[in-house]
Structure 1
């Protein structure tokens, strides 16, 4: 069995100023929406190569119509379990045929061959795997998506944000143009994942690939020092929660999954006011059907999920923030 890397958690360095993407003036202020299209599994249990299904994919065509009605084109980051299942993949036909949507790739290494590693939390971050094994899994995923959907993906996301030191060079060699495996300001070292605390939400270029982090916004009275205050508070029991209750700092990602609507609306307003040019939103496809994620447990949660998106679409229109398809982003980035 292949051994994983024995190294410190990966800490990608903050981009140099000359690595940052300079968006053209006519690009305006935009947003894009990524969906992690994946199998459903028990989020409370240990990861496994077995015991998953893809039944929630049946909800995808209706979801695509609803997002299209909100002018929210989807960048669908499809993992191997869905791409290898003809029935599950067929539910993405409307997305494949929508010129404003895109099919990208998402790597869940524990369900993607070749299977040479033990299934552990550490190995679930693909960037922790030996370089040759990570590259082989990405190649398998890429080929499967290209065969199933008729074109190779050009955008990639490592499941669990599990990017590693060799990931971008592998992607560049396979023809990928954009990676979205970084979650700005988050730290996954607790079970062996990467540390993104040095990375902000701005897009940058590295190893011939555009890195587009998942947007993180600090809100509250002390938001100007939000990242450093949050890091310090995280070292104390309930520290971040105390900051939130006092209205000092809240760390917000742009997703309806465990992010309250009021906080997300404030975060978008703050980000636009501070000059952020491209906001990135995200959610998991199993949340489109009740009972598959801790975020959408029943019909009431699903209704709240859609209210979140309706209200967010209204706020984006009010702020003058337009949607951006993956192709529009790549063209604007040059």
Structure 2
């Protein structure tokens, strides 16, 4: 694994997607469909349980009832679970939802790295290792679903300097690994603080950053000010209404803040909002965000209220296929 931080450059004006007027402003829901593991413990190759998948069909019906067609980004433990294949195929049968790949390097063979931690950010692996893991994952997804994945997300948002090229040469069209405004360099991962929320094209890949915006009176300071404040300063600024970093996810993000962020993003001209969550959050006890039944009720309420606000604003759901066609 490389020790040098991978700092992703901001999109140049010519890289930004010029969405057609007919596309309007839309939103896309992405789901990290993955195994369950202890988020507070060191990564472990043996943690591959996928019991929370049993809740996915009901969640799919909830989304479909709102006209939402999620992109299910599945990883190796899910793709190789025999019980998952018929479930995934049934969800794809709606003709609108899509399957993508999510590379959790620590549970995705081949295991040429010395330990699980070395593969936590797959884009930081040597090129041959990253490519080999991606090939194994892609083949497993095709075998399980009968569909070739066009979208990708690196586990822990861990792309590297070669990832987009490796994806493009394997027929992938879309990457959604960049979490705009976030910095994982201190943990050995990539730095996305220069990346904004607008979609762009780079190395023949359509990049759909996970939507993050800064709200508050000091929002012009953006990611640089947020990083400089430190942990305690960020909390103080958020409570004072000066600066808050808001990602469009129900996981540890209050719904009022998310609604304000939607309004801010659209005011800033963001034409595609990309929302996300992790599939184990559908069952209490698997993630820090949904620990009990009350948290699960709040999780579903978050989506209900966000969807209602998007509908009120005239922001319609879209599909991965529609996004690719509009960007092209």
Same fold, judged at TM 0.5 (above): yes
In the alignment, structure 1 residue 150 sits paired with structure 2 residue 162: no
Unpaired runs of 5+ residues, structure 1, are none
Distance 1:296 1:211 in 2: 29
> What do residues 85-105 of structure 1 show as CA deviations (whole Å, max 9, x unaligned)?
111233223322121100000
In the alignment, structure 1 residue 240 sits paired with structure 2 residue 237: no
* Correspondence for 1:80: 76
Cα distance, 1:56 vs structure 2: 0.4
In the alignment, structure 1 residue 327 sits paired with structure 2 residue 299: no
* Correspondence for 1:282: 276
* Correspondence for 1:97: 93
**C-alpha contact 1:240 1:250 (8 A) present in aligned 2:** yes
- What RMSD in Å do the two structures reach over aligned CA positions? 1.1
Secondary structure of the structure 2 residue equivalent to 1:44: coil
Q: TM-score, normalised by structure 1?
A: 0.96
Aligned residues: 328
Unpaired runs of 5+ residues, structure 2, are none
**C-alpha contact 2:36 2:47 (8 A) present in aligned 1:** no
Distance 1:115 1:222 in 2: 46
**C-alpha contact 1:64 1:94 (8 A) present in aligned 2:** no
Q: What are the within-5 Å matches in structure 2 for residues 65-144 of structure 1? A: 65-144=61-140
* Correspondence for 1:205: 201
* Correspondence for 1:180: 176
* Correspondence for 1:23: 19
**C-alpha contact 2:106 2:120 (8 A) present in aligned 1:** yes
Secondary structure of the structure 1 residue equivalent to 2:99: strand
Q: 1:260 aligns with which of 254, 268, 271?
A: 254
> What do residues 149-172 of structure 1 show as CA deviations (whole Å, max 9, x unaligned)?
112101100010000000011001
**C-alpha contact 1:201 1:214 (8 A) present in aligned 2:** yes
Q: 1:305 aligns with which of 299, 308, 313?
A: 299
**C-alpha contact 1:47 1:119 (8 A) present in aligned 2:** no
Distance 1:169 1:227 in 2: 27
> What do residues 176-235 of structure 1 show as CA deviations (whole Å, max 9, x unaligned)?
00000100010001210101111111111111111111011111122223333212213x
Distance 2:270 2:221 in 1: 17
**C-alpha contact 1:122 1:191 (8 A) present in aligned 2:** no
Q: 1:9 aligns with which of 5, 12, 36?
A: 5
Cα distance, 1:273 vs structure 2: 2.0
* Correspondence for 1:168: 164
* Correspondence for 1:191: 187
Secondary structure of the structure 1 residue equivalent to 2:225: helix
* Correspondence for 1:269: 263
| Runs of 4+ that moved beyond 4 A | none
> What do residues 37-73 of structure 1 show as CA deviations (whole Å, max 9, x unaligned)?
0001111111000133100000111110001112221
In the alignment, structure 1 residue 230 sits paired with structure 2 residue 226: yes
> What do residues 225-276 of structure 1 show as CA deviations (whole Å, max 9, x unaligned)?
3333212213xx5011011011101000000000011111111111112221
Q: TM-score, normalised by structure 2?
A: 0.97
